[in-house]
A and B are shown apart, each in its own frame.
Chain A
């Protein structure tokens, strides 16, 4: 990964998602409870990653509007798993800022408005299973 630019391949590698599996049914956006808060909706997210339009996602507040509820992962008929893409872009953002990982002990100390809450929620969901 280059210093400042996150590319499509990085996101696909981090997330393990194959965006080509998407059949554009829109069930992820139909499912999303945070839809109205978002600038880019889950199905657009998949499409933008597919088209390499990553910078726009990184800049968009949508990135941290996702609740990480993973409903889109559960209901996607093609197992595309859009929330994993969101998470990957978030991780890439965090890494770009030099925070490659979080240790459990460090979390209470750094819980401040600068830490995107969703990134933590997402990590907890991911590792609690």
Chain B
């Protein structure tokens, strides 16, 4: 017979204001098996935990029920306290009378009645609990970082610095990401390339880091500490070990009309290309969509000029399997497409550009060699209008695929663009239309004020309503809310601060990782305040803008934080497994293999076993068995099994039914 103790927590007034805790403790006393029941102000406090330990000893308790907050909050706390009191930690049940009772009800008598029912069902369950012992599983001491932008590079460098092997998978031919496209960085205006490229080189030269460029993750199996990841190495038609990056092929390739994605299509590249001079790895890649040799079999110029013999038109996608202990998502962001905003005439005039395009037009390595020229006629623009919040801060029912969040970085980069433009070309009039200027950050507001006070940028509170290309000019109609006027400006260029959104690869990746996402496709963190770099999926971590809009300093800080969490995981030799795993009753198993099909972890296998029959003959039967190290205790198999042979330890079918019975009593 079980000897059960019940502890009812007041949680200050969180529970006690709505639930009569004394009545709950009193009601619990009359349940069968309960030998002790009490209420206490804060069960999670040290004295509350001591009460549990003392009562376990004093009343020789075999199981306890704590009526308190959600088990997500303090189940672990109470299990540890029970273990310290000499009880098996799996002999603890939590009745959630806070989130599922006191917080959602107002009326005390009905909330109290409900709390009593919840306690009764927890008592029914704990009566059937059996002590469980957690096993352990080994940890593969290698991490995978998905995405090779500044977030991924920094995470990889920090993990490697702690002595662990780490691989970066980058879908583009080079690492570097968005930061490689940026000219200067706010608020210090140091050159992005000057601070990024040394990190890229450092990553390439670090013998703990492997870079899989032009590669994608195509499958993920396993669980924390033991992931097996299939990496698709896309055919680049150039042998990585032979190419010296001399670039001769990229000069001789006759296919010159390929939009250069690194310059956002503002100029062209060849069909065989190296994205930019500091690319890492500095290896050419053939674009199969444009290469005439790959499309029609006629050409072969690059192969003829390559003295290293690195060109391989027969190359195929390769798939490799690698084991990892931890995975970091660092998939980054992209500006949204602004074509839907007809009023800004982005699709009508080449002189209406996004801020990232403007960044390339200002960049010394960009399509104009750093001289600011209008894309339409390559003349120097004299009036430039910047429009903030294009696609950001829109209502949920926005008809133009706008984002409801603030993209966070636009106010600062727009101030930077305005300032740099005025500095380089003092004869240029620069207008910035803003709804709010948001500059929280170290030296950020000072930076914005400098744009206004020192560089004479015209900041106007209001929005641009319409841009009309007319006679080589862009007629801008806007409101000045402070002056109470509608403005008409003849501009040479209009720059749109497009909202940023997670990269399109994030959603399918989240599916592979079984990591959760929010409605905007940003990865969800395990706790918004206290676990910001961990995904709720164990062993998956988040770095950079894939978790939410971020600037470079924040991204680097978060990348380091993600790395430290990975290091904390990889430093362990073994992980404690969850003992609440499935097990198959072979006598009931009919060998239908339904459970094998539904198991998301591949933990169930089928094999033939010999069984002795009543007439002393033996019979070979197909039965299921569960690999306890791989099973995550999700319970999918238990509800699928048509013969009731599958059961989950700690959550057995019998226990669940006992809970239901207790509720219906």
Q: Does B395 contact A (CB under 8 A)?
A: yes
B479 touches A26 (CB 8 A): yes
Q: Does B477 contact A (CB under 8 A)?
A: yes
Contacts of B394 in A (CB 8 A): 77-78
Q: Does B393 contact A (CB under 8 A)?
A: yes
Q: Does B147 contact A (CB under 8 A)?
A: no
Q: Distance in Å from the Cβ of A77 to the closest Cβ of chain B? A: 4
Q: Does B209 contact A (CB under 8 A)?
A: no
Contacts of A29 in B (CB 8 A): 462, 465, 479, 481, 486
Report how far A15 CA is from B398 CA in the complex, Å: 18
Stretch of A17-25, A53-61, A85-93, A108-116 at the chain-chain interface: A17-25
Most buried by B among A29, A30, A31, A41: A30
Contacts of B398 in A (CB 8 A): 77, 79
Q: Distance in Å from the Cβ of A121 to the closest Cβ of chain B? A: 20
Contacts of B486 in A (CB 8 A): 29-30, 32, 35-36, 41
Q: Does A43 contact B (CB under 8 A)?
A: yes
Q: Does A125 contact B (CB under 8 A)?
A: no
Most buried by B among A29, A43, A78: A29
Q: Which residue of B lies closest to A76 (CB)?
A: B395
SS class of chain B's interface: helix, strand, loop or mixed?
A: loop
Q: Choose among B395, B399, B477, B481 the residue that contacts A21 (Cβ–Cβ < 8 A).
A: B395
Q: Which residue of B lies closest to A78 (CB)?
A: B395
Q: Choose among A30, A35, A79 the residue that contacts B395 (Cβ–Cβ < 8 A).
A: A79
Q: Distance in Å from the Cβ of B353 to the closest Cβ of chain A? A: 20
A31 touches B466 (CB 8 A): yes
Q: Distance in Å from the Cβ of A40 to the closest Cβ of chain B? A: 11
Q: Does B56 contact A (CB under 8 A)?
A: no
B465 touches A32 (CB 8 A): yes
Contacts of B343 in A (CB 8 A): 31, 74-75
Q: Does B540 contact A (CB under 8 A)?
A: no
Q: Does A126 contact B (CB under 8 A)?
A: no
Q: Choose among B395, B397, B479, B484 the residue that contacts A27 (Cβ–Cβ < 8 A).
A: B479
Interface positions, chain B 620-642, Cβ under 8 Å from A, are none
Contacts of B466 in A (CB 8 A): 30-31, 71
Chain B interfacial residues counted at CB < 8 A: 22
Do A24 and B435 contact each other (CB < 8 Å), given the known contacts A30-B466, A77-B394?
A: yes
B397 touches A25 (CB 8 A): no
Report how far A121 CA is from B462 CA in the complex, Å: 29
Write out, one digit per residue, whether chain A residues 45-85 have a CB within 8 A of any chain B CB (1) or not (0).
00000000000000000000000000100110111000000
Write out, one digit per residue, whether chain A residues 1-41 have a CB within 8 A of any chain B CB (1) or not (0).
00000000000000000000101111111111001100001
Q: Distance in Å from the Cβ of A78 to the closest Cβ of chain B? A: 4
Report how far A95 CA is from B218 CA in the complex, Å: 65
Contacts of B465 in A (CB 8 A): 27-32, 71, 75
B395 touches A25 (CB 8 A): no
Do A23 and B393 contact each other (CB < 8 Å), given the known contacts A30-B462, A30-B464, A30-B465?
A: yes
Contacts of A25 in B (CB 8 A): 389, 435, 462-463
Report how far A32 CA is from B462 CA in the complex, Å: 13
Q: Which residue of A lies closest to B388 (CB)?
A: A25
B462 touches A23 (CB 8 A): no
Interface positions, chain B 457-505, Cβ under 8 Å from A, are 461-466, 477-479, 481, 484, 486
Q: Distance in Å from the Cβ of A70 to the closest Cβ of chain B? A: 13
Q: Does B402 contact A (CB under 8 A)?
A: yes
A31 touches B477 (CB 8 A): yes
Contacts of A41 in B (CB 8 A): 479, 484, 486
Contacts of A23 in B (CB 8 A): 393, 435
Q: Choose among B393, B395, B397, B461 the residue that contacts A26 (Cβ–Cβ < 8 A).
A: B461
Contacts of B481 in A (CB 8 A): 24, 26, 29, 43
Report how far A60 CA is from B436 CA in the complex, Å: 30
Q: Distance in Å from the Cβ of A76 to the closest Cβ of chain B? A: 8
Q: Which residue of A lies closest to B480 (CB)?
A: A26
Report how far A30 CA is from B435 CA in the complex, Å: 12
B397 touches A30 (CB 8 A): no
Interface positions, chain B 391-427, Cβ under 8 Å from A, are 393-395, 397-399, 402
Write out, one digit per residue, whether chain B residues 538-582 have a CB within 8 A of any chain A CB (1) or not (0).
000000000000000000000000000000000000000000000
Contacts of A32 in B (CB 8 A): 465, 486
Q: Which residue of A lies closest to B464 (CB)?
A: A30
Report how far A25 CA is from B463 CA in the complex, Å: 6
Contacts of A78 in B (CB 8 A): 393-395
Report how far A43 CA is from B479 CA in the complex, Å: 10
Contacts of B393 in A (CB 8 A): 23, 77-78
Do A77 and B478 contact each other (CB < 8 Å), given the known contacts A25-B462, A30-B462?
A: no
9 contacts between A and B (CB under 8 A): A24-B481, A26-B461, A29-B462, A30-B466, A32-B465, A41-B486, A43-B479, A71-B466, A78-B395
- Additional 8 contacts, C-beta under 8 A, given A32-B465, A71-B465: A25-B435, A27-B463, A30-B465, A30-B478, A31-B343, A41-B484, A75-B343, A79-B395
Chain A residues near B (Cβ < 8 Å): 21, 23-32, 35-36, 41, 43, 71, 74-75, 77-79
4 shortest interchain CB distances as A-B pairs: A30-B465, A31-B465, A27-B463, A30-B479
